[in-house]
């Protein structure tokens, strides 16, 4: 079994997001955090989280990248339980039964992103149109002979959906320019 963990290749998440996830915590997409928001109207750090953040389940903070890691059944159960508790405590789920069902669905979706090899990094890009949030995910692969030590040692190799051919990780927190 594989799951997602947050990873920080540099300190940029601490500047980009209001709350940065701690490196190494379990992660989910986190798009549900924007359920009642109009993504097109978000600004600043909230916009950066909407456009390109994975949710660290423990800290409730954001990470630009996640890493696919091996996991056990116990890790899976612990992640579902932790997310369910967070959904009750932080998101106002009506009870643990409803929260656990939602958490299982969110973790299953995150697991579906783990079809690539262990240690692959995944980036997300979200858009909002007509009240609907769309997500696309990209796998980043290490260049030959590189380790995870430097953010710029990666190259994109796969697009699940091509939302924006000009997507650059460094620009996720910036406001768009009008031409």
The answer to whether position 11 is within a domain reads yes
Containing structural domain, residue 159: 2-78+115-171
Confidence of residue 93 (pLDDT cuts 50, 70, 90): very high
Residue 166 lies in a domain: yes
Contact criterion met (CB below 8 Å) for 82 and 32: no
Give the pLDDT confidence score for residue 48 in this predicted structure.
96
User: Does 104 reside within a domain?
Assistant: no
Tell me the pLDDT tens digit for each residue of 13-42. Answer: 999 999 999 999 999 999 999 887 887 789
Asked whether residue 92 is assigned to any structural domain, the reply reads: no
pLDDT in tens, 62-76: 999 999 999 999 999
The predicted structure's pLDDT at residue 7: 96
pLDDT tens column, 97-143 = 999 999 999 999 999 999 999 999 999 999 988 878 899 999 997 66
Does residue 60 sit within a domain? yes
Asked if the model's pLDDT at residue 80 lies above 90, the reply is: yes
3-state secondary structure of 158: strand
Question: What value, to the nearest 5°, has the Cα angle with vertex 136 and ends 132 and 142?
Answer: 160
- If one counts the domains in the chain, the total is 1
Higher pLDDT, 64 or 155: 64
Q: Which of 108, 21, 25 is closest to 64 using CA atoms?
A: 21
pLDDT of 37: 80
Residue 94 domain-assigned?
A: no
The tokens for 118 are 């262990």
CA angle at 152 for the pair 149 and 148, rounded to the nearest 5°: 25
Report the predicted TM-score, pTM, of the whole model to 2 decimal places.
Answer: 0.79
Classify residue 105: in a domain, yes or no: no
């Amino acid at each position: 079994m594989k799951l997602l963990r947050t990873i920080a290749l540099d300190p940029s998440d601490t500047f980009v997001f209001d709350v940065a996830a701690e490196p190494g915590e379990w992660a989910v997409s986190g798009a549900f955090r924007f359920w009642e928001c109009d993504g097109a109207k978000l600004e600043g750090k909230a916009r950066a989280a909407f456009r390109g953040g994975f949710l660290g389940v423990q800290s409730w903070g954001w990470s630009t990248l996640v890493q696919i890691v091996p996991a056990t059944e116990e890790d899976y159960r612990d992640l579902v339980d932790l997310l369910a508790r967070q959904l009750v405590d932080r998101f106002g789920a009506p009870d643990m039964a409803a929260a656990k069902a939602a958490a299982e669905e969110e973790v299953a979706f995150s697991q579906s992103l783990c079809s690539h090899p262990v240690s692959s990094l995944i980036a997300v890009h979200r858009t909002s149109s007509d009240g609907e949030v769309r997500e696309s995910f990209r796998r980043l692969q290490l260049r030959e002979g590189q380790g995870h030590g430097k953010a710029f040692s990666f190259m994109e190799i796969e697009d699940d959906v091509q939302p924006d051919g000009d997507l650059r990780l460094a620009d996720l927190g910036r406001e768009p320019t009008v031409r």
